[in-house]
Amino acid sequence: MKQKIFFLIPFFILSKFNWAQSKQTKFANADFKNAIAIEDSIYGLTNVSLGYGSVLDFKFDQYVREENSAWFKFSIDHDSTLIFDIVPIDSTDDYDFILFKCPNANCINDIRAKKIIPERICYSYNTTKNSTTGLSEYATSTIIGIGFGPAYASALSVKAGETYYLMINNGYDGKTPLRNKFPKGFTIYFYNYYPKKKPVILNNVSFESNKAVLLKESFSELDKLVLRLSTNKTIKIEIRGHTDNTGNEIENQTLSEERAKAVVNYLVSKKIDQKRLLFKGFGSTKSIASNDTEEGRKKNRRVDFVILMH
C-alpha cells in the first residue's frame, strides 16, 4: 500500500533536539563520490558552510549551482510520498537544495554531464517560513529559482529501492560572511523515511561509575571496531553515547557525550584517523528498554555507532 505522510514544520522537534545534538557534523569534502549516507529520519545538526564546497560538481544554470555545499545520499525503503524539511538553526540563514534520482551506477557522472534532470530545485529566499525549506504536499512547483519565491518545492512520489542525491547549498564561501554573518547550520527531517540500518551497539563497553573513563574490559570490543575501520578505510562513523534516565537530564547528556568522545579517543589512539570519527551524546532521549528496572537501565547505558559515509 502506498503510504502518504503529511507535512508539518517541526519547530517543536527542533527545540527538543537542539541541545542533544550540539556537535555539528562536518566532513572535509562531501561531494558526489563522498556523499553523506543518511540512514535516519532526522539528520543533523550539520553545517555545509564548514569545510564543504571544495569541488564544483554541478551547475544547473548561471544562478542555480554549487557554491558552498554538501551532497547527501539516501535510499527509499517503501513506496511513499517524499516530504522533508531543512530547518536552519538561525532563521535568517538561507539554504537551497537540488534533488536528483539516481537510476543507475553511472548517475554521478550523468548528473555532472546534465544527462539527469533534477527532480526538484528550490533556490528561493523566503523568510515567511523562518527560512525553512524542503518538499511539501501543499507546494505545486518543481523548480523554484533564485530570488524571493515559495519556500517549498512539491512533494515527490517515490518507490522502494530508489536512490536519491540531495545537494544542500549555502552562499557562504568560507571567507566572507553572507548577509554580514556566518551560517550556523541546519537539521534535515524526513517524515516518511525510515532508517535502513539501526545503530550498532558496542556490547561490553563500560565505564567507571558516573565517569567517562573506559574500563579495560571494553578494549576487546573496541578493538573489533578498530579492525573494521582499518579494513575499510572509506567508512566514516558517528559514535553515540546514551544514559538511563536516572538523575539530571542535562548532566546525563553531558556524560553521554563525554563517553562517546572517550571511545573516539581510544580509536584515535589505535591510529584511526580522527576525521573519520564523529561523536554525539543523547542522554536518555533514545532509550531502547524500560527505565523502570535495573536490567532496562543497564541496556540504556550504552554506546553505539552509525555509519555516515561508506
pLDDT of residue 29: 58
Residues 46 and 164 grouped into a single domain: yes
Evaluate whether residue 145 is within a structural domain. Answer: yes
Query: Is the domain of 114 the same as that of 224?
Result: no
pLDDT at 277 exceeding the cut of 60: yes
Residue 167 within any structural domain of the chain? yes
In this structure, the answer to whether residues 179 and 207 fall within a common structural domain is no
Tell me which DSSP letter residue 271 carries.
T
The reported pLDDT for the residue numbered 10 is 38
- Among the candidates 167, 190, 213, a domain finishes at 190
Q: Is a pLDDT exceeding 90 seen at residue 61?
A: no
Residues 33 and 168 in one domain: yes
Residues 176 and 253 in one domain: no
pLDDT for residue 5 is more than 60: no
What per-residue confidence (pLDDT) applies to 234?
A: 75
pLDDT higher at 299 or 111 = 299
Per the model's pLDDT, the better-predicted residue between 203 and 180 turns out to be 203
Q: Do residues 169 and 21 both lie within one domain?
A: yes
- List helix spans (H) across the chain: 11-17, 107-112, 219-231, 249-269, 294-300
Question: Which pLDDT score, from 0 to 100, does residue 148 have?
Answer: 87
* Mean pLDDT across the chain: 81
Q: Which amino acid is at 131?
A: S
Give the per-residue pLDDT at 224: 93
Regarding whether 185 and 206 lie in a shared domain, the answer is no
Report pLDDT digits (tens) over 151-191. Answer: 999 999 999 889 999 999 887 655 665 566 778 888 898 87
- Whether residues 56 and 183 share a domain: the answer is yes
Interval 250-255 mean pLDDT: 94
The set of long-range contacts for 286-292, using a CB threshold of 8 Å and a minimum separation of 24, is: 286/240, 286/242, 287/242, 287/244, 287/245, 291/244, 291/245, 291/246
Give the residue from 166, 190, 214 where a domain finishes.
Answer: 190
Residue 120 lies in a domain: yes
Lowest-pLDDT choice from 26-30, 138-142, 250-254, 274-278: 26-30
Q: What is the CATH number of the domain that holds 254?
A: 3.30.1330.60
In a domain, 3, yes or no: no
Secondary structure letter of residue 292 according to DSSP: T
The answer to whether 51 touches 69, Cβ cutoff 8 Å, is no
Q: Where are the beta strands (DSSP E) in the chain?
A: 36-37, 42-46, 68-75, 80-82, 84-88, 96-102, 120-125, 133-136, 143-148, 152-154, 156-158, 163-170, 186-190, 200-201, 236-241, 277-281, 303-309
Range of 140's domain?
11-190
Q: State the CATH number of the domain containing residue 58.
A: 2.60.120.380
Q: Domain ends where: 157, 190, 223?
A: 190
What pLDDT, on a 0 to 100 scale, did the predictor assign at position 184?
Answer: 83
Indicate if 16 and 148 belong to the same structural domain. yes
Of residues 156 and 10, more confidence is placed in 156
Residue 38 has pLDDT above 90, yes or no: no
Report whether 69 contacts 171 (CB < 8 A): no
User: Same domain, yes or no, for 38 and 184?
Assistant: yes
Q: Is the pLDDT score of 118 beyond 70? A: yes
Q: Is residue 85 part of a domain?
A: yes
Domain identity same for 204 and 158: no
Total number of domains constituting the chain:
2
Residue 115 contacts by C-beta under 8 Å, 6 or more apart in sequence? none
Give pLDDT, residue 7: 34
pLDDT in tens, 234-249: 788 889 999 999 999 9
* Least confident piece of the model among 64-73, 101-110, 173-182, 203-212: 173-182
Do 233 and 263 fall into the same domain? Answer: yes
Q: Please give the average per-residue pLDDT across 64-75, as a whole number.
A: 83
When pLDDT is cut at 50, 70 and 90, the band that residue 4 belongs to is very low
What percentage of the chain carries pLDDT values higher than 70?
81
| Range with the poorest average pLDDT among 61-65, 161-165, 192-196 | 192-196
pLDDT at 20: 33
pLDDT at 202: 94
Which residues fall within 8 angstroms of residue 195, CB to CB, at 6 or more apart? Answer: 39, 40, 41
Q: What is the mean pLDDT of residues 110-137?
A: 87
